[in-house]
Structure 1
Amino acid sequence: MEHSWQKRDTGITVRIIICLSILTLLYVIFITVLAYLGLGFIPIMLISATFILAQWFFSDKIVLWSTHAKIVTSHQYPSLHSLVERIVSRTNMPMPKIAVAVNRIPNAFATGKGPGSSVVAVTTGLLEILDTDELEGVLAHELTHIKNRDVMVITLASLFSTIAWQIMQFGFYGSLYSGGSRDRNNGSAFLIVILVAFATWLLSFFIIRAISRYREYSADRGAAQMTGKPAKLANALMKISGTMNRVPTRDLRQVEGYNAFFIIPAISRSTFANLFSTHPSVEKRIERLLDMEASMH
């Protein structure tokens, strides 16, 4: 019998679609305003877009290098490989590469361009604190990110946000050097560009983070569907969060730049700062997972 939580979460899907639609409309308005002003921002846009797409294309290599994670074989970590193979066998996904980072901070992440070229990575700290079922839940969460192509979605969603930031900076410095009465028109145009670019960047900043939070919920649900053990993933999140609370802040700050990739951000924020976070609060995620578990009985 299929439980209610095993069905597609229509609410989350609708919210993601709404956010992406608003983001698309925002970017269309942004491009339209720039085209109307007739300013030469095309080179900046092309350079920024090329840089972002290159980051996405080489994302697996960049993240692995940055986190000191190494690709491992089934001979080096037989249990880990066998667990990933077991989860993958329940889906139509190809087997990802597996990496391990020697780091006492317990965490995991997925990277890569898509299911055909992806990496699932865990830290040695994570392997030390989780039992097999809990680790299975974490790996299933990361595999769901790969299956849903979340890295690609967030990269593309961030494309014009980054371009807007670059153009805003260009407009700011351009306005500084557009002095004099004959340059007044140019100065006004630069001011409009700054305001439009800033509004685009600010709104897209919050929308992209909302999309990211919804996709974390979606990955939790996907993991529960793959394993049939939502409570085990909830236990894993509790253990990871509790262990990280005991890690010195200076150590957490060294990996804070990779929070968007991790299953749980290295440094938790206040309730207000959750608006700026790429992840929902651990408490809310655990609550949802335990609700799924309760619906099974």
Structure 2
Amino acid sequence: MARTRFAPDRGLTSRMLMTMFFIGLLYVVFVGALIVLLKGAWPFVVIIAGGLFIAQFWFSDKIAAFSMGAREVSAQEYPELHGTVDRLCALADMQKPKVAVAQSDIPNAFATGRNEKNAVVCVTTGLLRRLEPEELEGVLAHEMSHVAHKDVAVMTIAGFLGVLAGIITRVGLQFGMFGGFSSRDDRDGDNTAVAALIVIGVSAVVYTISFLLTRLLSRYRELSADRSAALLTGRPSALASALTKVSGQMAAIPTQDLRRAQPFNAFYFAPAVSARQVASQAFSTHPSLEKRLEQLGRISAELGRQ
């Protein structure tokens, strides 16, 4: 974790290390299996896998910010927003991230960037319209905690293997499970078709395992960010109020808009889904609202006793 005054979370650190270890191991096995199964195509596999990894790590923050319509804003454009970020940076003793605003009625916020130097904290216009200053401070503290704990970079790397495996699986299925190879009559053609089917099967399994591991880590990191933000600001009730308000306002957002935002749920302060969808998502990127409010209630009680 970077040197800041955000409360350290050894549980988050250990979970990030374990997730990275298992996903790294899975990645090595996966690429190794591709090299063995595809034989002569191994240089192509290495180049593609390496290229995708570099692109995912170095450019995912820019791609995500662009996809979500984030635009960096100056202190002259949004003085109160910048003022809140400045206060939190002074309080947390951390480098100020870039501040951005997305033109969207969905009340939400997110942070991207592989480190503090490249970090961007963005809020939507819908969030700015709905929250009180102390509630906004809690949300921004939550997002800056993600940056301080470096879990934005960890989730980007952790999600890479799932992206790679998902691409291979989808490409294989889309092209008829490499049906072009089945036209050959010789044994080599049959072996190639079998190897291709095995690659698709392995890719699907790897995607599933990666998906589960990243979802488990994602839910814990949201609880950790809530805890760190509440302790830094000393106002867990303000963060709880923001959570309740944001989650409740999702019901008023058109379903079509929510669906467009859902691919970016892992970045958001609160998932862009309706209450009914939250209840049915066994593998959500976020813990339930009840669980987050329960934790904030305990922190409030602890601070009250101090």
What is the TM-score normalised by the length of structure 2? 0.85
Aligned-pair Cα RMSD in Å: 2.4
**Residue 271 (structure 1) aligned with residue 272 (structure 2):** no
In the TM superposition, what are the counterparts of 1:29-108 in structure 2 within 5 Å?
29-37=29-37, 39=39, 40-108=41-109
Q: 8 Å contact 1:230–1:292 — kept in the other structure?
A: yes
SS at match of 1:271: helix
**Residue 143 (structure 1) aligned with residue 147 (structure 2):** no
Q: 5+ unaligned residues in a row in structure 2: which ranges? A: 1-5
Q: Which residue of 1 aligns with 2:28?
A: 28
Identity of aligned residues (%): 43
Q: Which residue of 2 aligns with 1:194?
A: 200
> What CA distance in whole angstroms lies between the structure 2 residues aligned with 1:296 and 1:91?
18
Q: 8 Å contact 2:110–2:269 — kept in the other structure?
A: yes
Greater shift, 110-119 or 78-87, is seen at 110-119
Greater shift, 127-136 or 174-183, is seen at 174-183
Greater shift, 90-99 or 38-47, is seen at 38-47
SS at match of 2:119: strand
Q: Which residue of 2 aligns with 1:203?
A: 209
Q: Kindly state the Cα deviation for residue 26 of structure 1 after the two structures are TM-superposed.
A: 2.1
Q: Which residue of 2 aligns with 1:225?
A: 231
> What CA distance in whole angstroms lies between the structure 1 residues aligned with 2:202 and 2:254?
41
Q: Which residue of 1 aligns with 2:266?
A: 260
Distance 1:76 1:166, change over 3 A: closer
> What CA distance in whole angstroms lies between the structure 1 residues aligned with 2:43 and 2:263?
30
Q: Kindly state the Cα deviation for residue 250 of structure 1 after the two structures are TM-superposed.
A: 2.3
Q: Kindly state the Cα deviation for residue 38 of structure 1 after the two structures are TM-superposed.
A: 5.3
Distance 1:42 1:214, change over 3 A: farther
Distance 1:25 1:271, change over 3 A: farther
Q: 8 Å contact 1:49–1:159 — kept in the other structure?
A: no
SS at match of 2:139: helix
Q: 5+ unaligned residues in a row in structure 1: which ranges? A: 1-5
Q: 8 Å contact 2:97–2:117 — kept in the other structure?
A: yes
Q: Deviations over 1:53-108 (max 9, x none)?
A: 33543344433333333222112221111111111012342111111223222111
What is the TM-score normalised by the length of structure 1? 0.87
Greater shift, 190-199 or 235-244, is seen at 190-199
Q: Deviations over 1:165-206 (max 9, x none)?
A: 333345554641232342222222222222222111111111
**Residue 248 (structure 1) aligned with residue 254 (structure 2):** yes
